[in-house]
A and B are shown apart, each in its own frame.
Chain A
Amino acid sequence: MYTVYRAAILGMSFSLALTTSPVTLYGGEDEGMCVEAGVPYYSFQLITTKNILGTGRGRGSVEVTFSDNSPFGISVTSDGSYDYDLKLSLNRIKLRGEGRLVAWVTTRDLSKIRRIGPLDPYYQVNGSVDWNKFLVVVTLESNDGGNSDKWEGPVVFRGMSRSGMMHTMVGHGLLQEENCFAYGYDG
């Protein structure tokens, strides 16, 4: 649905570009562009890999808010990166067998990985991150092997911060349709 809408918008823009006439747009009318309102705007979904029995129908989300200890209304680190609190939750999970689910944050090139921690019995965990673009990964770790700095078990869920959707005009070109599904968004 999204891709169809987006293609229509871009196609319309392209047609207008050919006419060189200015375009009139009104605020709030471009719904359907993967835009959500309010706190959910920076939140994102976790997508199951369907690799582990009992998680194939699972759904997940990460709520992203600014760290609550900032006195400035927005929390950033000394290098200017956003300092976010994360609330991760999964549902529709019926995990069978050994192991526990552990959440991690990582940069998109996987060069840096930080452990958020094991999910509680309600499949929830809170953490934080101070990278502007990041991935959240949930893995299945052995019962006694979940304390390492890097995951060892299979990836069960994964998702990308909304900032990962910031486009490069170098690789894609202005008018190329972007495939949200490829990034794990089904909106």
Chain B
Amino acid sequence: MPAMTPSSGWRMIPMDMNMPMLPGLEGAVPSVGAFLPGVGIDLGTIPLARPSAIVKLQRGDTLDLSVSMVRRSIDGTEMLMFGYNGQYPGPLLDAVEGSTVVVRVRNEIQMPTTIHWHGVRLKNQFDGVPGLTQAPIEPGEDFIYEVKVPDAGMFWYHPHVREDVQQDLGLYGNLLVRSPDPEYFGPVHREEILVVDDLLMDGEGLLPWGKESSTHALMGRFGNVMLVNGQTDHQMKTKIGEVIRFYITNVANSRTFNITFGDNRIKLVASDIGRYEREQWTPSVVIAPGERYVVDVQFDKPGETVIANTIQAINHFRGEFYPHVDTLSRVMVSSQINEEDLSDSFELLRENQEMISEIENLERHFNEAPDYELETLVRVKNVPTPIVISMESDTLYVPPMEWNDAMPMMNWLSTGKEVTWILKDKTSGLENGDIHWEFERGDIVKIRIFNSPDSFHPMNHPIHLHGQRFLVLKRDDIKNQNLVWKDTAILPVGSTMDLLVEMSNPGEWMFHCHIAEHLHAGMSFNFTVREY
């Protein structure tokens, strides 16, 4: 018989034995209340979640989408989580480029929610940002989204109310928008979806989230349990020589993955909003929260191989990097040879002339001075003293990326009350919500963003723009050789990136860091694109 959901008090977070607790922090808990959904509810009354189903959508179709509590079993522990239409992830919506579908959302959880259609250049009133484009959908209420999909690509949908909680609890799903061109991509034997995520759990289940404000405000909430498509034991079967196209989406709150496919070669073909100028080989796929990548992989050796998150983690206590591998999926490659040999087409790196032409039309803007310059900073106050001492003693080197939570207790104790992450307009000096940029539809705008290492605890940021698409022209003054339309891009510590944004979609839009806890610690502002 399923247990009752656990009480909502704080429990000590799981700690790596290599990173002992700092003296002075014994018994410390975050300065905010603890929150778990559905405390005291008999789990037996909650329906068991089902794996994601594919929903093929034709032009003008209407989809009913519920936001509800579900029962999940993860690593043997039954827990109350959230789901779209009772599924994990939410249903895979399979639509055709240029079509419009209607999604009727009903909120059946005990929190307000919305749905943000990440990367889709849709009408502003359907962007799902509470207080900006719509009122939150209160429990028991409905909202109708009209989702027009002008671009081919792999998109995703998730809440924009307390994403740190709701998204982590399972509210995410993909929206695959297909080009009508049958040769948009090269041939493959089949397609697979990989939605990568992590959850923070202990023996009792999910660790509580902050009630009034996010915990883990410094580094974001890293999980200790890896999920692919909501599963901890994801597996696949394939045949030798088979070429599989993987659509990868990172829905984690904070973790950036470095995904490898064993010794098999990886061909990168597309990202957030369409194809690269040129397909290219890559040793791994680095994917930050909110980003998507499309890769083709040929499995050319029989036996078991693993899809893994392969990183050099940091042990601050020992002051060293160490190799760390999380198995994400096990792939059994049978020695049976696939009837259709796609080796030749797999070897071919295609050029996408349509994309190259699009880029050529924008080249006159590449060398213009930035229209706006932003700097990222963090400001902290009332942090427990042992944390300050510890961090002060380790400020000589800050890694470009935080691949793991190397300071779990310090991170847990930092909440939105103590930490403010900042996007600062270098020209006006304004910060976060005080910034408001105005553009006209059709403007091509260059934005330079610098991730300053000169603050208390700098960190990488996946920068996300709503409603528009952009190119990453340069990083650290080095020209990007292979462009692709993006809506989210990594900004490592100490780095500067130049974005060329096509302001094509009128409305009021958000600009923010996609680490959920950084967003809730202030790291966002709005901009307006007006019709002329």
A79 contacts B385, C-beta separation under 8 Å? no
Asked if A77 and B284 make an inter-chain contact with CB atoms under 8 angstroms apart, the answer reads yes
Q: Which residues of A contact B484 (CB under 8 A)?
A: 71
User: Which chain B residue shows the least CB distance to A65?
Assistant: B476
Q: For the complex, give the distance between the alpha carbons of A68 and B491 in Å.
A: 15
Within 8 A of B (CB), among A26-40: 26-28, 30-31, 33-39
Q: Tell me if A17 is interfacial: C-beta within 8 Å of chain B.
A: yes
Per-position binary interface string of chain A over residues 12-34, scored 1 when its CB falls under 8 Å from any chain B CB and 0 otherwise: 01101101111111111011011
Beta-carbon contact of A27 and B377 below 8 Å: yes
Which single member of A23, A27, A65 contacts B378 (CB below 8 Å)?
Answer: A27
Contact A25 B393 (CB under 8 A): no
B482 cross-chain contacts in A, Cβ below 8 A: 71
| B456 close to chain A: CB less than 8 A | yes
| Residue contact B379 to A78, C-beta cutoff 8 Å | no
CB-CB under 8 A from A133, the residues of chain B are 320-321
Q: Check A76–B258 contact: CB distance below 8 A.
A: yes
- In the bound complex, residues from chain B placing their C-beta under 8 Å from that of A17 are 24, 385-386, 389
Contacts of B399 in A (CB 8 A): 163, 166
* A152 surroundings in chain B (CB, below 8 A): none
What total of chain A residues lie within 8 Å of the partner, measured CB to CB?
A: 59
Query: Taking the complex as formed, is A80 at the interface, i.e. its CB lies under 8 A from any CB of chain B?
Result: yes
The residue in chain A whose Cβ has the minimal distance to the Cβ of B314 is A166
A53 at the interface (CB under 8 A from B): no
Residue of B nearest to A21 (CB): B385
Q: Are B494 and A39 in contact (CB under 8 A)?
A: yes
Q: How far is the CB of A182 from chain B (nearest CB, A)?
A: 12
Segment 73-124 of A: residues with Cβ below 8 Å from B: 73-74, 76-82
B487-501 contact mask (Cβ, 8 Å, vs A): 1 or 0: 001111111110000
Enumerate chain A residues within 8 angstroms of B110, measured Cβ to Cβ.
none
B454 adjacent to A37 (CB under 8 Å) = yes
Which chain A residues border B479 with CB–CB below 8 Å? 68
Does A143 sit at the interface, judged by CB under 8 A? no
Decide: A23 and B394 in contact? CB cutoff 8 A: no
Q: How far is the CB of A164 from chain B (nearest CB, A)?
A: 8
User: In the complex, A76 Cα to B287 Cα: how many Å?
Assistant: 12
State whether A166 touches B396 (Cβ < 8 A). yes
Whether a CB of chain A sits under 8 angstroms from the CB of B383 is yes
User: In the complex, which residue of chain B has the Cβ closest to the Cβ of A31?
Assistant: B454
- Residue in B260, B323, B378, B388 with the greatest tally of chain A CB atoms within 10 Å: B388
B383 CB contacts on chain A under 8 angstroms: 22-25
A141-187 contacts to B (CB < 8 Å): 162-171, 174-175, 178, 180
Q: Does B237 contact A (CB under 8 A)?
A: no
Q: Beta-carbon contacts of B127-152 to A below 8 Å, as 1s and 0s? A: 00000000000000000000000000
Please determine whether A80 and B310 come into contact, CB atoms closer than 8 angstroms: yes
Are B481 and A68 neighbours in the complex by a CB distance under 8 Å?
Answer: yes
Q: How far is the CB of B250 from chain A (nearest CB, A)?
A: 12
Q: Are A27 and B422 in contact (CB under 8 A)?
A: yes
Please, which residue of chain B has its CB at the minimum distance from the CB of A39?
B476
Chain A residues with Cβ below 8 Å from B285 are 72
B contact residues around A39 at 8 Å (CB)? 476-477, 494-496
Whether the pair B388, A23 counts as a contact (CB closer than 8 A) is yes
Within 8 A of A (CB), among B449-484: 450, 452-456, 460, 472, 475-479, 481-482, 484
Q: Nearest residue in B to A170 (C-beta to C-beta)?
A: B318
**Neighbour of A166 across the interface among B268, B286, B324, B397, CB < 8 A:** B397
Contact present for B317 and A169 (CB under 8 Å): yes
Q: Are B284 and A175 in contact (CB under 8 A)?
A: no
For A57-75 the 0/1 string (1 means CB < 8 A from B) is: 0000000011011111110
Q: Which residues of B contact A163 (CB under 8 A)?
A: 321, 397, 399
Verify if A49 is at the interface (C-beta below 8 Å from B).
no
Of the candidates B324, B476, B481, the one having the most CB atoms from chain A within 10 angstroms of its own CB is B476
Nearest CB of chain A from residue B126's CB, rounded to whole Å: 29
Q: Which of A9, A20, A80 contacts B385 (CB 8 A)?
A: A20
Q: Is B282 an interface residue (CB 8 A)?
A: yes
Q: Is the CB of A68 within 8 A of B403?
A: no
CA distance A77 to B392 in the complex (A): 30
B424 to chain A, nearest CB (A): 9
CB neighbours (8 Å) of A42 from chain B are 400, 494
Partner of B312, one of A13, A28, A65, A79: A79
List 4 tightest A-B contacts by C-beta distance, closest first: A168-B319, A41-B494, A27-B455, A165-B396
Between-chain CB contacts (< 8 Å), 20 pairs: A10-B393, A14-B389, A19-B385, A23-B382, A27-B378, A27-B455, A35-B453, A39-B496, A41-B453, A65-B476, A66-B475, A68-B479, A70-B286, A72-B285, A73-B489, A73-B497, A80-B324, A162-B397, A170-B317, A174-B393
Report B's interface with A, CB cutoff 8 A: 24, 258, 260, 268, 271, 276, 280, 282-287, 310-312, 314, 316-321, 323-324, 377-386, 388-390, 392-397, 399-401, 403, 422, 450, 452-456, 460, 472, 475-479, 481-482, 484, 489-497
